[in-house]
Structure 1
């Protein structure tokens, strides 16, 4: 699982499931049932669209509950700390690689600003409601 996925899951409230625990549909046994012209196969019920996730509200609530002064609105390090994720330089480098950072990774200040903007933009692309001020 990538670091961005861990960030997103921490905000969306999902626990990371081991990938091998989820069987693929191709590995599932197929049932051969005779067709019954009187009973056509039932169609799957349409899924209800999911409501957008209010990223700012969730992060604000997490910050209040944490009781620490974390500048998650501007700092990728503080954002990761808020989500109880490892904010080490190595993890931020991995996140930069994952998100396609092409700048100088030795310039951690520039990389961190870029990472924060990209994470917020990707959260918005993933169905999160993120104020425009956090994505620029």
Structure 2
């Protein structure tokens, strides 16, 4: 299972079919309010998931070491990823866009 699939299943449940970011977005009137959903998760009160990709992955119970983040970046379209703060910011925004694409309502400031 890909890391992105593991992430979407952690958010939407095991029976969720993950749409790759290149596919048409999920059209679901029952969109998950991502901000409220994440804020209500155990541990959210001490993790900065809004800006830190490592904290976001930790909140979701997904491996967040540099090698795992590099693999996720490649999965989401990065051709080069070295783990700089700029790379992590790109990965956070790209991951949020992918989550939005799969049926979550994501505030626009998280996808920029």
Please identify the structure whose Cα radius of gyration is greater: 1
| TM-score bracket for the superposition, by shorter chain length | 0.7 to 0.9
**CA offset digits 1:37-92 (Å, max 9, x no partner):** xxxxxxxxxxxx56111111111101xx2265110000110000111111011110
Give the equivalent residue in structure 1 for 2:5.
5
- State the TM-score, normalizing by the size of structure 2: 0.80
Report if the CA contact (8 A) 2:32-2:105 is conserved: yes
**Aligned-CA RMSD value:** 1.9
Q: Secondary structure at the match of 1:4?
A: helix
With a CA cutoff of 8 Å and minimum separation of 6, indicate the structure with the bigger relative contact order: 2
List alignment gaps of at least 5 residues for structure 2. 17-27
Structure 1 runs (4+) deviating above 6 angstroms are: none
Residue 107 (structure 1) shift: 4.4
Give unmatched runs, 5+ long, in structure 1.
17-48
> How many aligned positions are there?
101
